[in-house]
Structure 1
Amino acid sequence: MTDTNTNNDSIEQLNERLTRFARDRDWEQFHSPKNLSMALIAEAAELVEHFQWLSEEQSYNLSEEKHEEVSLELADILIYLIRTAERLDIDLLKAAWRKVEINESRYPVEKVSGSAKRAEEYDL
């Protein structure tokens, strides 16, 4: 097993390892965008279960055990997200930066500060 404390801090490195993991097990045949996106949403639902019925304050103050469980659910989500992007040849960082720029245009600070409405609910 590889040391999880090594300096593997890029999406590219993680993607390479995940791809190798799937290929070594002959699982890429199952890793279609459809299947991966379904797995991603299932993992997101598992994340939500950890917070169901908690107050806002409780959601910030998880026990050590619950914090670790949430950490692993988030990791599952990230893994499926990276695999889906890889299968569709999408650069996640480039797409995320583009989306931030779009959101900055859709939600100008001077119009939306302190409000949580959807974009179409603002008089922009």
Structure 2
Amino acid sequence: MDLTELTRRLHAIRDANDWRRFHSPKNLTMAASVEMAELVEIFQWLGEDESRHLPADQLAHAGQEIGDVVLYLLLLCAELGLDMDEVVRAKLADTERRYKP
């Protein structure tokens, strides 16, 4: 996944629709949270086994919501001047140190 290319494409959409004024870190964080809540709704009343074996339509819906969350987080990283790849790799390395694989 080329995060630089994805971010460039997101910025093209943002700029073409004059959304930059709405893309403050605060707003992007809230938008990501809303999309995460939509993902939570898919699993809300399912049992453990059901949550691992979603019907095709629900699996597709989950994928859409995951995509929304990731795209908002990419926009948030860009606004904060953070490199998503570096942030994720650093966090994974920290997790590996704390919880030896």
Number of equivalent positions: 101
User: Aligned partners of 1:47 and 1:94: how far apart in 2?
Assistant: 25
Structure 2 counterpart of 1:105, one-letter code: R
Query: Which residue number corresponds to residue 2 of structure 2?
Result: 10
Q: Which one has a bigger Cα radius of gyration?
A: 1
Query: Which residue number corresponds to residue 66 of structure 2?
Result: 74
Query: Which residue number corresponds to residue 96 of structure 1?
Result: 88
User: Aligned partners of 1:70 and 1:84: how far apart in 2?
Assistant: 21
Unaligned runs of 5+ in 1: 1-8, 110-124
Q: Please list the CA deviations of residues 74-115 of structure 1 after superposition, one character each: whole Å capped at 9, or x if unmatched.
A: 010011000000111100111111111111122234xxxxxx
TM-score, length-scaled by structure 1: 0.78
% identity of equivalent residues = 37
Query: Which residue number corresponds to residue 59 of structure 1?
Result: 51
Q: Does residue 21 of the first structure (1) align with residue 20 of the second (2)?
A: no
Structure 2 counterpart of 1:88, one-letter code: L
Determine which structure has greater relative contact order: mean sequence separation of CA pairs < 8 Å that are 6+ residues apart, divided by chain length.
2
User: Aligned partners of 1:46 and 1:52: how far apart in 2?
Assistant: 10
User: Aligned partners of 2:92 and 2:62: how far apart in 1?
Assistant: 25
Query: Which residue number corresponds to residue 45 of structure 1?
Result: 37
RMSD: 0.9
Q: Does residue 107 of the first structure (1) align with residue 99 of the second (2)?
A: yes
**Any idea what SS the aligned residue of 1:62 has?**
coil
Structure 1 counterpart of 2:68, one-letter code: D
Unaligned runs of 5+ in 2: none
TM-score, length-scaled by structure 2: 0.95
